[in-house]
Amino acid sequence: MRAYDVEHVLRLSILSPSEKRRMKAIVFRAPGDLVLDDLPLPSPGPGEIRVRPQSVGICGTDTHILRGEFPAARPVVLGHEIAGVVEALGAGVNTLREGDLVTIEPHVYCTSCRYCRQGQEHLCLEKRAFGVHLHGGLAEAVVVPSRTAYRLPPGFDARLGCLAEPAACCIHGMDRLSPRSGAPLLIIGAGPAGLILTRLARLAGAAPIVVSEPNPTRRAAALSFGADLALDPAAPAFREQINDITHGLGFDSLIEAAGSPATLELAIELAARAGRILVFGVSPMHATATVRPFDIFVRELTIIGSVINPYTHERAVNLLPRLGLHQLAITQFPIDNFNDAFAAQASGAAGVKVQIRPQD
Ligand SMILES: [Zn+2]
Ligand SMILES: [Zn+2]
């Protein structure tokens, strides 16, 4: 496998005179500075494809980027949850055809650092992501290496297809946590990832599954995704209800899927002895939590990180039809209304999942 040519991607704006086509793209220029720009249509180089994104999800990471809370290139086209149609093939691409509906695994790796060379590419020292460091899918077109594209069944709903990316991250998280069947599990936060994790926990046999979520709409969604109980952490009876369901012992497995120091502190508080806590949510990069080391020591807690989706994208595609994602309240916006879409994502006001249709 050749090292991915980042320079090539950065050079994509230099096109031959015969290709003076343009495209709309949502460009992050600086914290708080997101614009709809007009960029040259990129051409696929050897081993690459050009995709016309149909549905592109916005997630908490995008909100963090926009607020300057997550490291990203500037300027860069955002959008890393991508489902679209293959429009053009670069030289040597023979695994895909024009017209294929695909979902993109948005990361590229250096292939030669210590982590790449020991099978941990997702920890690569030079990891790059489309929509974070390289131009992403919130545009009328995006060029990616063909090996990052996974074919979806013809006619598959692109709104659900672009959820393969967060689903693949959730599968990696569950691999890391490996919850036991019949052992109590808590998920903190019922955004799209929290809901997918709820479904995966149900498929894995964890029981009972409790979801902690302040938003009543999301609590109702958690029940339809497989939670036995969905609790409001601000309710006075919250801890009493948790004590009742765990017999005062706490949870064996806990997933922090809200992305805040306070919810990590809550997970540590509610962990049973020998509890395993998955840090899944993306907290602001400089945020700090207060932890009593004695708690970790005396209860033999295990705190587990989970970053992105190594080797899990194909499994996510296989699982998509079984995740019940049609139950997600998805709100879509045309590309021109990107400001409304990002405002809806930041406020949590528009259902559970916000997506943009770059072709509209
Ligand atoms: Zn995301
Ligand atoms: Zn590497």
Looking at residues 170-185, what average pLDDT do you find? Answer: 98
- Whether pLDDT at 1 is above 50: no
Number of structural domains (the chain) is 2
Ligand nearest to the CA of 162: 1
The reply to whether 98 and 14 lie within a common domain is: yes
Rounded to the nearest angstrom, the distance between the alpha carbon of 58 and the centre of ligand 1 is: 7
The reply to whether 58 and 139 lie within a common domain is: yes
pTM above 0.95, yes or no: no
Left if phi > 0, otherwise alpha if psi is -120 to 50, otherwise beta: which for 339?
A: alpha
Does residue 25 belong to any structural domain of this protein? yes
The reply to whether 335 and 283 lie within a common domain is: no
- Whether pLDDT at 3 is above 50: no
- Whether pLDDT at 289 is above 60: yes
The reply to whether 255 and 131 lie within a common domain is: no
- Active-site option among 8, 63, 64, 122: 64
Q: Give the pair of three-digit tokens for residue 216.
A: 């009543």
**Coil vs helix vs strand at 225:** coil
Q: How does the average pLDDT of the chain come out, rounded?
A: 93
Confidence of residue 347 (pLDDT cuts 50, 70, 90): confident
Rounded to the nearest angstrom, the distance between the alpha carbon of 70 and the centre of ligand 2 is: 20
Q: What is the pLDDT of residue 13?
A: 43
The reply to whether 64 and 190 lie within a common domain is: no
Q: What is the pLDDT of residue 252?
A: 98
Contact in structure between 79 and 142 (CB atoms under 8 Å):
yes
**CB-based neighbours (< 5 A) of ligand 2, an ion:** 109-110, 113, 116, 124
Ligand nearest to the CA of 126: 2
The reply to whether 205 and 149 lie within a common domain is: no
- Active-site option among 61, 148, 263, 312: 61
The reply to whether 95 and 190 lie within a common domain is: no
- Whether pLDDT at 38 is above 50: yes
User: DSSP letter string over 133-171?
Assistant: TB--SSBS-EEEEGGGEEEPPTT--HHHHTTHHHHHHHH
- Whether pLDDT at 181 is above 90: yes
**Coil vs helix vs strand at 338:** helix
Ligand nearest to the CA of 82: 1
Rounded to the nearest angstrom, the distance between the alpha carbon of 60 and the centre of ligand 2 is: 25
- Single out the residue of 131, 166, 329 nearest to residue 259, CA to CA: 166
CA dist 229 and 255 (Å) reads: 15
- Whether pLDDT at 139 is above 50: yes
Rounded to the nearest angstrom, the distance between the alpha carbon of 167 and the centre of ligand 1 is: 10
Q: Cα 226 from chain centroid?
A: 20
Rounded to the nearest angstrom, the distance between the alpha carbon of 193 and the centre of ligand 2 is: 26
Contact in structure between 24 and 79 (CB atoms under 8 Å):
no
Does residue 313 belong to any structural domain of this protein? no
- H/E element holding 340? helix 338-347
Does residue 187 belong to any structural domain of this protein? yes
Q: Identify the DSSP state of 189.
A: -
Confidence of residue 19 (pLDDT cuts 50, 70, 90): low
CA dist 218 and 352 (Å) reads: 7
> 8-22, 37-51, 64-78, 293-307: which has the minimum mean pLDDT?
8-22
Angle at alpha carbon of residue 31, lines to 25 and 33, rounded to 5°:
45
Looking at residues 101-128, what average pLDDT do you find? Answer: 97
Rounded to the nearest angstrom, the distance between the alpha carbon of 101 and the centre of ligand 2 is: 29
Residue type present at position 136: G
- Whether pLDDT at 140 is above 50: yes
Q: Give the pair of three-digit tokens for residue 198.
A: 């709820």
- Whether pLDDT at 345 is above 60: yes
The reply to whether 10 and 142 lie within a common domain is: yes
Looking at residues 8-35, what average pLDDT do you find? Answer: 74
The reply to whether 197 and 72 lie within a common domain is: no
Ligand nearest to the CA of 191: 1
Looking at residues 151-170, what average pLDDT do you find? Answer: 96
pLDDT in tens, 40-96: 999 999 999 999 999 999 998 999 999 999 999 999 999 999 999 999 999 999 999
Q: What are the two backbone dihedrals, phi and then psi, of residue 151, each rounded to the nearest 5 degrees?
A: -70, 135
Does residue 270 belong to any structural domain of this protein? yes
Residue type present at position 290: T
Placement of tokens 């994502």 in the chain = 345
Does residue 179 belong to any structural domain of this protein? yes
Does residue 83 belong to any structural domain of this protein? yes
CA dist 72 and 27 (Å) reads: 12
* Residue span of the structural domain in which 260 resides: 169-305
- Whether pLDDT at 276 is above 90: yes
Confidence of residue 14 (pLDDT cuts 50, 70, 90): very low
Rounded to the nearest angstrom, the distance between the alpha carbon of 149 and the centre of ligand 2 is: 20
Q: Higher confidence at residue 85 or residue 6?
A: 85
Q: CATH number of the domain that 263 lies in?
A: 3.40.50.720
Contact in structure between 160 and 27 (CB atoms under 8 Å):
no
Q: What is the pLDDT of residue 122?
A: 96
Ligand nearest to the CA of 122: 2
The reply to whether 128 and 192 lie within a common domain is: no
Half-sphere CA count of 209, side-chain side, radius 13 A: 28
- Whether pLDDT at 349 is above 80: no
Q: Cis peptide before 216, with omega less than 30 degrees from 0?
A: no
pLDDT in tens, 88-107: 999 999 999 999 999 999 99
Confidence of residue 219 (pLDDT cuts 50, 70, 90): very high
Strand-pair category, 101-104 with 149-151: antiparallel
Q: Is 331 considered catalytic here?
A: no
Q: Cis peptide before 208, with omega less than 30 degrees from 0?
A: yes
The reply to whether 47 and 133 lie within a common domain is: yes
Does residue 319 belong to any structural domain of this protein? no
The reply to whether 107 and 124 lie within a common domain is: yes
Rounded to the nearest angstrom, the distance between the alpha carbon of 91 and the centre of ligand 1 is: 30
Contact in structure between 357 and 55 (CB atoms under 8 Å):
yes
Q: CATH number of the domain that 95 lies in?
A: 3.90.180.10
Q: Is 80 considered catalytic here?
A: no
Does residue 321 belong to any structural domain of this protein? no
- Whether pLDDT at 4 is above 70: no
- Whether pLDDT at 206 is above 50: yes
Q: What is the pLDDT of residue 6?
A: 53
Looking at residues 187-214, what average pLDDT do you find? Answer: 97
- Whether pLDDT at 17 is above 70: no
